[in-house]
Amino acid sequence: MESSEEDYYDYTEYNNNSSNFSYDDYQTICEKSDVRSFVRIFLPVVFGLCLVIGLAGNALVLAVYAYCKQLKTLTDVFIVHLAVADLLLLLTLPFWAADAVHGWELGVTLCKLVSSLYTINFTCSMMLLAHISLDQYLALMAGDRSRGLAQIFQKKHSGKLCFGGWTVACFLGIPDLVFSTVSEFHHKKRCLAMYPSDVAHKAKASLEVMEVMIGFLFPLLVMLYCYICVGRALVMLPAERRSRKWRSIRVLLAMVGVFVVTQLPYNVVKFFRAMNIVYTFVTHCGLSKGLDRAMQITEGLALTHCCLNPVLYTFIGSSFRQHVLKCAKGFGDRGRRLARVREQQEVNISLNSHSQSQETSTFSI
């Protein structure tokens, strides 16, 4: 979770033609109370919307696979893992919303745990999107050239692939688990990663660049490769087969588009901020505040992928939509059967009570 609590410095331009000394020629602390006011309003609203929509959508995905759809393909396995990663990521948002408004009052242990869970699940979610795209590409392009590669991505290897993705994500979450702590800023406690002073700038910049490469560049390159190869193959197919294939790859193409729209702004700002930590490009207080606001806005946009993934499966993937409708129909039929059973039981109870009343009357006479 990115924080805007760091104080940048505002360097005023020094006039070499003037011999007058002024304290304005030196750096001054950049006060960011307006940025903190913006964060206190913006983050709870965005995180609240993501939490409500994302929990409902990803819970629906898990319910469909638990009751109506077996894990038949590697994509099914990846989608389940993606829904789990998104849910775990969403469950950290209430903590960050409370931190933005009231500060962190939950202790160091929970600070470390929530920080690492945020990084782990955010990174793993991005990597699983790349795996899904690659598996869809291999399924659509199954032929002599891709058959050998497709064998590597069979369902029996799904556990290893998912384990590898989670392992890499956990590796990126270790620094947050180790260095996150509770510190007081502007009379409020904050949950932040505090690196040793001698390596603070280099460590933070290196970690953010690594997160950009693994959590954005790698999935983006995989998706673009799949998109370009599938597009070339579609052009060579007859019109009838092309339409069938196009219906099959709509989810893949939509995932690429959503991924670029939601993740590109955030990672561009994140990379620029990492470079600024090392080389100090931003030397003006206003630009520093703008960078902090851009970081919060783009990060909120990036989190919307937790809500959009289930929408893509439901409204673009015809197979998943059919299973959703099948589940809804099954629950509806089950409800009607239970209603009929209850009605029949009530009728039987009523008849039995009536019969018993008649017997009692006869016996009395």
What does the DSSP assignment read for 64-106?
HHHHT----SHHHHHHHHHHHHHHHHHTTHHHHHHHHHH---S
CA distance 176 to 194: 9
What's the average model confidence in pLDDT over 198-218? 84
% of the chain surpassing 90 pLDDT: 16
Q: Where are the beta strands (DSSP E) in the chain?
A: 9-10, 28-29, 180-185, 188-193
Radius of gyration in angstroms for the set of CA atoms belonging to the chain, rounded to a whole number: 28
- Evaluate whether 86 touches 58 at the Cβ level (below 8 Å): yes
Question: What pLDDT was estimated at residue 282?
Answer: 79
Taking the model in full, what pTM does it have? 0.77
Question: What pLDDT was estimated at residue 141?
Answer: 67
Q: Which of 178, 167, 183 is nearest to 203 (CA)?
A: 178
The bridge status of strand 188-193 relative to strand 28-29 is unpaired
Name residue 116's amino acid.
Answer: S
Q: For 241-280, how does the pLDDT look when each residue is reduced to its tens digit (9 = 90+)? A: 666 666 666 766 777 888 889 999 999 999 998 888 888 7
- Evaluate whether 298 touches 43 at the Cβ level (below 8 Å): no
CA distance 68 to 66: 6
Domains of the chain: 9-344 (1.20.1070.10)
Please give the structure tokens belonging to residue 1. Answer: 């979770």
Q: For 235-251, how does the pLDDT look when each residue is reduced to its tens digit (9 = 90+)? A: 777 766 666 666 666 76
- Evaluate whether 107 touches 182 at the Cβ level (below 8 Å): yes
